[in-house]
Chain A
Amino acid sequence: MPTEPERFTPLKPDVFAVLLVLLRGDAHGYAIMRDAPAQSTGTGRLQAGALYRILARLLDDGLIGEVESESSAETTDQRRRNYRITEFGREVAAAEARRMSEILALGQANELLERT
């Protein structure tokens, strides 16, 4: 896909959280729900319906892909679909991280962090 990763930033916190989980390795739906860090959205934990809406969009836009679940120790259940981040997904996540660190740098320049 010829789109540049920056088109997707700033990422919603939930979306970023999902990508962060997948950066650590393939995961099925519940594992993503379980491991996604609770974000400052005020809703707490990511719920299944919201998660799958995000997954649907990520799949459609090529940020993640589906993989046949391997019979690893954790996923014995063949019905589960696993998701894997694509190269493009990595780029988007990296772009978001870069954006955040730039903001962070901006904050440091203003001595925000030291004051809190």
Chain B
Amino acid sequence: MEATSLNLADIQKIAEQEVDFERAYKYRINVCCSSGCVPLGALKVLKAFEDAVKELGVEKECKVARTGCPGTCAVGPAVMIEPGDYLYQNVTPEKAREIVRDHVVLGLPVKEMLYKNEAFYKKQQRLVLRNAGKIDPQRIQDYIAMGGYSAIVKCLATMTPQGVIYEVSTSGLRGRGGAGFPTGQKWGLVARAHSKPKYIVANLDEGDPGVFANRTLAEADPHAILEGMLIAAYAIGAEKGYLYIRSEYPLAIQTLQKAIAQARSISLLGDNILETGFKFDVELRFGAGAFVAGEETAILASVEGRRAMPRPRPPYPANSGLWGKPTLIQNVETLANIPLIIQNGGVWFSKIGTPRCTGTKCFSLTGKTKNPGLIEVPMGITLREVVFDIGGGVPEGRKFKAVLVGGPSGGCLPDTLLELPVDYDSLTRVGAIMGSGGIVVLDDKSCMVDTAKFFTEFCVDESCGRCTPCRAGLIRIKEIFDGITQGDARVEDITTLEKAGVYIRDASLCGLGQTAPNPVLTTLRYFKDEYLEHIQDKKCRAGKCFKNKEEEV
């Protein structure tokens, strides 16, 4: 695509052209080529489909597309054939030809290879992931054909920046990075800040183990993030945005780089966006593997090229962020919601989810679950629905024990709390957090003490070292855990754990320290008997501990 200067109407034209172009095809084969499926041979499957389509002479009526993730990571490589959204599981290059022959040529879907788990999608509501697995993330036309960039067109053509902020406020959208701050309110703060220039930082530093929602989003639908940034920039009056992504996500980086280049080439980014005089550009910044860099003040330091260390607030980034200028920091999932809100209105969005927590949330469902993968559910859904209906429960023969909500600094919740609605406030009340959206299901083979120890170790390694509670406190908690799991502990240690945990939660400087004791505190709250069993009887009912007992007094 040559660099051209388009105007607002041209976007509509591109969309129409692309829709016509698509209409020529009777079938569209979407091969998931995201980080989950590629190691399973998705690229070979893609090639096999392309070859099969040519061989069987249906290339005129069937398009093979390289897409992002439909969410079913358990059964990759996953292939979806439209129309009808037929999802094939565990596709191999050998099976590709058979699928093309039967499904495309003969029109008979290969039933035995179809993904049979209807429940997985039934309770989901895919808004942020609307295009995931359906469009080719490498082609901006695909996104535009799905109505993409129409929201920024709408903003530029018909809305004032205040109007945009009003819509976002009406929607009730809250930050998806974990803290749940009302997005509209944040935008208002930055918009009202006097100083200039203003900046936007999109946070894609997803450092939690076992969490991959943002990565999948970037790999599957990078333009949704860019459009969200554009709208935010228009609303707050920013001219420069930084997309902070961890360097451990090579495919997402590559996809985003391409997306940014494409957006620039049709003047969706640059000095004169769609000939309206609106100016905005996005630059990628790469993280160097620090979990704490996802914290909003640490990310600022890192973007500026300094050590990713959180700093005290106030001043809040809305007033003094990047280089002391007003800065809007937003998680990419939050940003991907924005185009939908603009297209459909804030009122429409506010009706999804619960009144206090509107919209949907993406979760990475992992652990001892039948259907691991990326899911998106409306706020307010119960944990039981997530774990048992969507996740299908724990594998045969095992018993559900707990579910860890919120990543490494989340809380371990027992089966008695399964009816809990998933929203910011309910989760906080029971000691868990929304966090980055990690849900780990634990079965009776998991030891709760060992689980809490594992996540504490993670936080010990990721503490930045600035404040005493987090730096000097977590390591002591870890040592006590070492004692408990090696048979060298006393009952008083439980009190020490509790005291230290509460102290670290209350006294730490940033969100990392404030939430790091959550696994410890929730396991102590809901699974104290297991701690006592470890200490008094030197017994681990899951058989995980007391394995490498070192000689101690």
Judge: A and B partners, yes or no. Answer: no
Q: Residues of B with Cβ closer than 8 Å to A?
A: none
